[in-house]
């Protein structure tokens, strides 16, 4: 709309292209995804050219008001996210969350006021309506629920009845909305109408779904029969939720506002969607924490103030959206992520996920399989999970939109296996742990990169003492510091040392330090047969994930003594040119097997050096 005048988009699939680009504002949408959604996965041979023409036409329509940019093999609508109605709606709902009822009500009314009928109603294609409309529909109903709870709390029963009567008529199978309406009618002294509302809902649930009312609806009914007063802060009873039926959602609209390249004073209107089939629509649980629980925190966590502060900054609004905790084998990346998640649990009231990606294992988890697990945790029935990976990703993003969710993706191997799992929604935070830096996530996705290295000396000593007890450390403090140094101050090596010492209470710390001093046996001492958590097993995973050239150079470097490596000496030893050596050294740094000290000079830890030497000189002589 330009100064109150609609911008005509015409009919046909140009509306689909516009809708997808608006729904993923500032995100690169691959041409393949536009084609897939526009033609319901059955595109004609000329589809790519048609999409290109539609994008060209949209650029002309938006000239001077918005920027439609080409990025690689896709397109992105560059705009302030709040200039798109759907995104503005989510921002407003998020702003209302946690606010006092009298402050939340006008914000929620403003959010719901952005809806003008069904979203994407004029967009052809069942698939695009299903993939983009479901999440908006669910967010709208959730916002209406929140508004109802606040109005009930404030005693504004007449307003609540007006708001919910239309909502319940639209969603007659949504038990929580109906329960709120029943409680409002009861509080307004209209018990007969409240009971009539209950019996009507009960008949529909039984006739259409073959089920009886759940706890929320049944509880409201019992409250009417018992003449209970409405509680000051009503909390909906947990339990099963009926599927949300065909929902109305507001138009995906770009409103006037600042955007890259200049001010906007217009909006694109009239992009709406029709209803999706009832069988394909569901509502996630109010909390997903129980569906994908975070592991428990470890009791010996110590230090990491810098890293915890970086995570805190990423979680603060507007937030980075993604944090990569990158570090070498045994540095405690997962422990750090889990510890922070537990400390900040209250900041993510809609749930916390933990998903192992097995990035460096023999069978890494593919993005499609990972998305299936996340969708299942969100309450999506298995039979309703889309078969295509891109559709799963789009559905996942729509379901978490407007929620405060933390996702920990543990042991990521490559950027390609992480990017489809990023929610890309305000309020959500993804913490990725990896032995690789995953720098492209910072370049393209705005992720914050945090390097997780060895513990500080005092923190490492405290970790050892938390397992062995302060008296044992105090009795041999010098020997304890020596053990800490021989373990490279790595949490994994320190925990293995503590376990060995606890299993042999007659061993002194000095005795254990002498055993670790022998470099031919150090990794053996810090390992246990058949244990994946041994230091040599952890280093082996990092080594085996290297390219053949970098792995070969790593083994050759095992012939060099000491922690320092110079690029020309490495090239000479490997018998190759400097450029190739620099590339392979950079890969070793990316895998945290080396650290670049100054240009052309590299450092490695003792345990890494010992492991490389064992590979270079296998056998007892090593």
Cβ atoms of 175 and 236 closer than 8 Å? no
Distances in Å between the Cα of 33 and the Cα atoms of 62, 88, 231, 329, 423 are 22, 24, 49, 37, 17
Whether pLDDT at 429 is above 60:
yes
DSSP state of 562: S
* Mean pLDDT, rounded, of the chain: 79
Domain 546-616 belongs in CATH node 3.30.43.10? no
Mean pLDDT of 162-190: 85
In this structure, of 6-10, 308-312, 433-437, 601-605, the range with the lowest mean pLDDT score is 6-10
Q: How far apart are CA 293 and CA 161, in angstroms?
A: 37
Provide the pLDDT confidence category of residue 271 given band limits of 50, 70 and 90: very low
Q: What is the pLDDT of residue 445?
A: 84
In this structure, of 127-141, 274-288, 396-410, the range with the lowest mean pLDDT score is 274-288
For β-strands 257-259 and 322-326, DSSP reports them as unpaired
Q: What is the pLDDT of residue 455?
A: 95
For β-strands 406-412 and 352-356, DSSP reports them as parallel
Percentage, residues of the chain above pLDDT 70:
80
Phi then psi for 297, rounded to 5 degrees?
Answer: -70, 150
CATH code matching the domain that covers 1-171+244-261+268-281, chosen among 3.10.180.10, 3.90.79.10, 3.90.180.10, 1.10.10.10: 1.10.10.10
Domain boundaries defined on the chain: 1-171+244-261+268-281, 305-451, 457-525, 546-616
DSSP conformation letters of 14-57: HHHHHHHHHHTTTS-EEHHHHHHHHTTT---TTHHHHHHHHHHH
Mean pLDDT of 285-305: 66
Domains 305-451 and 546-616 share a fold: no
Residue of 132 and 471 predicted with greater confidence: 471
pLDDT digits (tens, 9 = 90+) for 61-100: 777 666 788 877 788 887 766 667 777 887 788 888 777 8
Q: What is the pLDDT of residue 268?
A: 26
- CATH classification (class only), 305-451: alpha beta
In this structure, of 4-13, 51-60, 300-309, 480-489, the range with the lowest mean pLDDT score is 4-13
Q: How far apart are CA 479 and CA 160, in angstroms?
A: 70
pLDDT digits (tens, 9 = 90+) for 211-256: 888 888 888 888 887 665 544 333 333 333 333 322 223 334 443 3
Residue of 59 and 592 predicted with greater confidence: 592
Neighbours of 155 (CB within 10 A): 13
For β-strands 429-434 and 406-412, DSSP reports them as parallel
Neighbours of 340 (CB within 10 A): 25
């Amino acid at each position: 709309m330009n100064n109150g005048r609609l911008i005509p988009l015409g009919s046909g699939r140009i509306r689909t292209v516009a809708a997808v680009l608006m729904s993923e504002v500032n995100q690169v949408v691959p041409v393949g995804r536009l084609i897939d959604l526009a033609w319901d996965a059955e595109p004609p041979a000329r589809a790519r050219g048609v999409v290109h023409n539609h994008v060209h036409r949209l650029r002309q329509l938006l000239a001077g008001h918005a920027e439609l940019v080409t990025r690689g093999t896709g397109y992105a609508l560059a705009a302030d996210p709040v200039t798109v109605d759907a995104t503005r709606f989510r921002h407003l709902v998020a702003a209302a969350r946690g606010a006092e009822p009298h402050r939340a009500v006008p914000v929620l009314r403003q959010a719901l006021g952005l809806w003008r009928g069904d979203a994407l109603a004029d967009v052809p294609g069942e698939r695009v309506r299903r993939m983009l409309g479901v999440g908006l529909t669910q967010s709208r109903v959730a916002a209406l629920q929140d508004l109802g709870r606040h109005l009930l709390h404030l005693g504004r029963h007449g307003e609540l009845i007006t708001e919910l009567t239309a909502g319940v008529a639209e969603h007659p199978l949504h038990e929580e909305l109906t329960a709120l309406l029943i409680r409002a009618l009861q509080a307004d002294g209209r018990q007969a109408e409240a009971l009539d509302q209950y019996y009507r809902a009960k008949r529909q649930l039984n006739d259409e779904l073959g089920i009886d009312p759940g706890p929320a609806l049944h509880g409201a009914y019992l409250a009417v029969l018992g003449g209970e007063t409405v509680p000051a802060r009503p909390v909906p009873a947990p339990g099963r939720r009926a599927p949300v039926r065909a929902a109305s959602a507001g138009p995906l609209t770009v409103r006037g506002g600042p955007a890259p390249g200049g001010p906007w004073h217009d909006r694109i209107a009239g992009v709406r969607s029709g209803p999706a089939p009832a069988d394909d629509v569901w509502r996630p649980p109010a909390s997903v924490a129980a569906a994908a629980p975070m592991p428990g925190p470890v009791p010996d966590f110590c230090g990491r103030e810098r890293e915890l502060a970086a995570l805190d900054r990423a979680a603060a609004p507007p937030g980075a959206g993604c944090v990569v905790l990158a570090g070498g084998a045994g540095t405690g990346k997962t422990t750090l992520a889990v510890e922070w998640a537990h400390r900040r649990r209250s900041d993510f009231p809609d749930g916390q996920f933990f998903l192992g990606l097995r990035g460096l294992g023999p069978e890494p988890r593919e993005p499609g399989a990972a998305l299936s697990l996340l969708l299942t945790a969100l309450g999506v029935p298995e039979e309703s999970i889309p078969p295509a990976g891109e559709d799963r990703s789009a559905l996942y993003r729509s379901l978490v939109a407007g929620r405060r969710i933390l996702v920990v993706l543990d042991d990521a191997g490559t950027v390609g296996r992480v990017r489809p799992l990023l929610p890309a929604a305000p309020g959500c935070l993804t913490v990725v742990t990896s032995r690789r830096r995953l720098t492209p996530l910072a370049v393209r996705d705005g992720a914050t990169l945090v390097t997780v290295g060895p513990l500080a000396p005092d923190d490492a000593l405290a970790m050892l003492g938390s397992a062995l007890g302060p008296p044992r450390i105090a009795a041999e403090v010098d020997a304890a510091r020596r053990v800490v140094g021989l373990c490279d101050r790595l949490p994994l090596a320190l925990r293995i040392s503590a376990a060995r010492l606890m299993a042999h209470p007659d061993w002194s710390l000095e005795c254990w330090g002498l055993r670790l001093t022998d470099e031919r046996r150090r990794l053996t001492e810090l390992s246990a047969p058949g244990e994946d958590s041994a230091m040599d097993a952890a280093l082996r995973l990092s080594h085996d994930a290297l390219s053949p050239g970098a792995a070969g150079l790593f083994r050759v470097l095992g012939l060099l003594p000491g922690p320092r490596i110079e690029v020309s000496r490495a090239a000479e030893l490997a018998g190759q040119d400097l450029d190739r050596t620099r590339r392979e050294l950079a890969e070793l740094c990316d895998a945290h097997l080396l650290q670049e000290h100054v240009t052309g000079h590299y450092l490695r830890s003792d345990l890494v050096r010992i492991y490389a030497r064992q590979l270079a000189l296998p056998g007892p002589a090593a």
